[in-house]
Each structure stands twice: as structure tokens, then as C-alpha cells.
Structure 1
Amino acid sequence: MTQINLLRQKTSLCLLVIYVRYLIGGAYVFSGIGKAMGERFIQAGSMQIPPMGMTLDVFFETLYRTGLWWQFLGWGQLVSGFLLLTQRWSTLGAVAFLPISINIFLITLSMDFHGTPLITGLMVLANLGLLGWDSSKLSPLLQPNQDTTVSIHWRGDQLGHPRYWAGLGLVIFLTSISFGNRVNPPLWLLVCLVEGLIGWLGWWFFRRGKPNDERL
């Protein structure tokens, strides 16, 4: 645990963790909003049912026709993504995401999504990395019936500016909600990347104006 706390003092790693949360949270909000609103993932008119087996479009249409479960899956992604994007409740978001991310990875693996399992597998690893980063907060849950003292410092997790990073997360959340499944994913990703870059530049310029003893 001491090693994790030492890593949390490194500015570059803190920034990496913050932006990984943005990436995963934004991606699941983007993909989950359509499901939560009861929209199809693939248009029904494009479906083709083969003599044997099931194609991806038929698979998603079957999930869509479950109705309540389809929307529940979308809301699960939406809420978990929001928690990650807030940074303040990111630990809870990472815990909620673990079964979701593993489930999605196994689906892409089982249905032969070509290169997609590589992406979803990396997201599972990133999810596990976020849980490892917050292991000091989770350790009391893994050690029941033991006297444990938990000390949480925002400065070592969000570079001393939790409200700033939470605000940027809200911008990315609203952007992902607005785009949803209705536009090209590359366009959504580009807009979020620009927002993230502007946010990083804003933090960097603000940090430059601080005295050396106040910098991280």
C-alpha cells in the first residue's frame, strides 16, 4: 500500500489516472445513453439471419427486444460512467464498472468481434488499474472485522483541484450525452479530446502561476 501512496504523489501518474477515468467514463456514457433511452444499437433493417448461428446485428436486436434489461444495461453504463467522470466518486464508479467491463469483454470474445476484444480487454485492464490506484480506499472492504484507518487526500489524487477536474468531467459527460449513438464515434472522440486538451492547458497555466512550494 505504501508503494501505491508514493505513486499517487507523482503528477504525471495522477494526470494519467484522471484522463483514463475520462476516457472510460465518456466511452460508456456515449455507448450507454442509446440503450438507456430504448434505442437500437443496430438498425433492424440491416439484419440478416443466417441458416446457422447468429450474426452480430441479430444478437444486438435480440438484446434490444428484451426491453427492460436492455435499458437497465444502458443505465448501468450511464451511471457508472458519470461516477468515473466526476473524479470525486470515481472509486465507486470503478467498482461498478468491473462486472460491466468483464461482461462486455466476454461478449466481444464469444461473438468474434474481430479486433474489438483487444479494445475491451484493455478497458478491463484499465478498470483493474483504477481499482489498484484506489486500493487504499478499498482495503477495509477486503479486510472485514479489522480495525483500519483510512486517510484520503484529494491533493494526492486530483492534484489539489478536485472541483476543476470534476467540472471538466461534467463537460465531457454532457458532450457524450449530446452525441450518444446518433453520430460518428470519431467525431465524438475528437470533440472530447479537444475538451480534454483545453482542460489540461487550463490546469497547466493555472499551475504555472502558483509559487513553487504550492506545486505538486
Structure 2
Amino acid sequence: MLQVIDRLHSKTWACLFVIFLRYLIGGAFVYAGWGKALGGRFMPTGTLQLPPDHGISIDLFFETLYRTGIWWNFLGIAQVIPGALLVTQRFATLGALAFLPVSLNIFLITISMNFHFTPVITVLILAGNLGLLLWDYQKISPVFYPNQTGQLTITTQSDQLSVPLYWQGLGILLLLTSLSFGNRENPMTWLLLCFLEGLFGFIGFFVIRRKKT
């Protein structure tokens, strides 16, 4: 499998998929986490109804978390930082590592709280996170080497398609867009803006590539 990943690093479509997967996951969690960091509620109370046999109300669960204050803000920051690192592309490996406990925790919460269809989404997020870590296995692998004296040579492959500053700039734009919606109002507007920025960024890459050739 690792040899397959090495070969995929030389494929333009695979690199683009990874780049935009980082944008998708990172941007979404910057958007979701920044509201918590600023002290906003996850959702208006009373918006969800649960079967009578469920042990605890989702409204009560999130309202309790919200009323913890500093911890609620910390949960938001714990989402924002890995998300921001992911969208920068430059620090995406660190972001994927930092995001793993976050994505796993969110997945387990949605299962425990019976979030209906939501676990399908959260398991895809977790799978995407694990996929990003697998993609960057060359950078992570030294952690698993024995802690002993020796010489270790690591060869990594860039996935920035020869224009790293371009993807980093687009990532910063998406990050600023997500941060500007800290109150989590108008989610469709945020989603549309990010989609258009990603679309124009995607087209712009091929325009730049054609000019270079």
C-alpha cells in the first residue's frame, strides 16, 4: 500500500484531491470551532427532538457544554487550530496529527448521542483524517523508529504541484473567509463563498500551469 501512495504523489489528480480535502476538512472546522471559541452556542436550544427512550437530550448535552464557559471556548480552539494548520498546506501534516483526536472524539459523540444520520458524516471525516495521515506517512514514520543512536534518512515527496505559495495563499483566503463567519450565521453564504474560492483556485492552477508550459 505504501508503494501505491508513493506513486500517487506523482499524480496531479491525487495531489489536487488531497489539497482540497485539507481545505474541506480544515475550513469546515475553522468555521464550526471559531463560533465556540467566541462563546457562541452550537445550536439554538430546543431545535432537536429525540426518541423518548434516549438517555439524554442533545439540547441538554450541548447546553451543558456551552455553560462550562472556558472549556467550551477551548473545544472551539481545539478545532480551529488543526483546521487552520490543514488549510495552510505548509503545516498540513501537523494539522492532520492534531485533528485526529478531535475527529475521533466527534465521531464517538455522534454515535453515543444517537445523532441519526450524522455518524455517517463524522465517520467520513474521520476516514478523511486517517487518509491524510496515511498520505503523509513519510513525514510521520520517524516517530515509530526505535529511540536509539543511529542515522536516519527520510525522503519526502511534495504534493504542492510546484506552486506551494499558490496553494498556501488560497488556504489563507479560505481561512480568513471561515473566520469572518465566527457567529455561524448565514452558513449557506459561507459555503458558497468557499466553494467559489475553491473553484476559481482550481481553475487558476491550470491557467498557471498552461502558461508555464
TM over 0.5: yes
Q: Counterparts of 1:2 and 1:125 in 2: how far apart (Å)?
A: 20
- Residue 8 of structure 1: aligned partner: 9
- Residue 86 of structure 2: aligned partner: 84
Contact 1:47 1:58 (8 Å CA) reproduced: no
- Residue 209 of structure 2: aligned partner: 207
Q: 1:36 to 1:204 in 2, by over 3 A?
A: same
1:22 aligns with 2:23: yes
- Residue 169 of structure 1: aligned partner: 171
- Residue 57 of structure 2: aligned partner: 55
Q: 1:187 to 1:147 in 2, by over 3 A?
A: same
Show the 5 A alignment for 1:119-130. Answer: 119-130=121-132
- Residue 148 of structure 1: aligned partner: 152
What residue identity is the alignment partner of 2:90? Answer: R
| Further displaced range: 13-22 or 54-63 | 54-63
Identity %: 56
Unaligned runs of 5+ in 1: 212-216
Q: Counterparts of 1:92 and 1:144 in 2: how far apart (Å)?
A: 21
Displacement of 1:35 after TM fit? 0.7
Cα deviation per residue 1:16-58 (whole Å; 9 max; x = unaligned)?
0000000000010010001111111123476899898322111
Q: 1:45 to 1:125 in 2, by over 3 A?
A: closer
| Further displaced range: 52-61 or 111-120 | 52-61
Contact 2:111 2:119 (8 Å CA) reproduced: yes
Contact 1:63 1:70 (8 Å CA) reproduced: yes
1:70 alignment partner, one of 66, 69, 72: 72
Cα deviation per residue 1:105-129 (whole Å; 9 max; x = unaligned)?
0001111111110000000000000
Unaligned runs of 5+ in 2: none
| Structure-1-length-normalised TM-score | 0.90
Contact 1:48 1:58 (8 Å CA) reproduced: no
- Residue 105 of structure 1: aligned partner: 107
Q: Counterparts of 1:64 and 1:80 in 2: how far apart (Å)?
A: 21
CA RMSD of aligned residues (A): 2.0
Q: Counterparts of 1:52 and 1:208 in 2: how far apart (Å)?
A: 57
Q: 1:143 to 1:51 in 2, by over 3 A?
A: closer
Q: Counterparts of 1:107 and 1:165 in 2: how far apart (Å)?
A: 33
What residue identity is the alignment partner of 1:210? Answer: K
Cα deviation per residue 1:69-108 (whole Å; 9 max; x = unaligned)?
1111100111110000000000000000000000000001
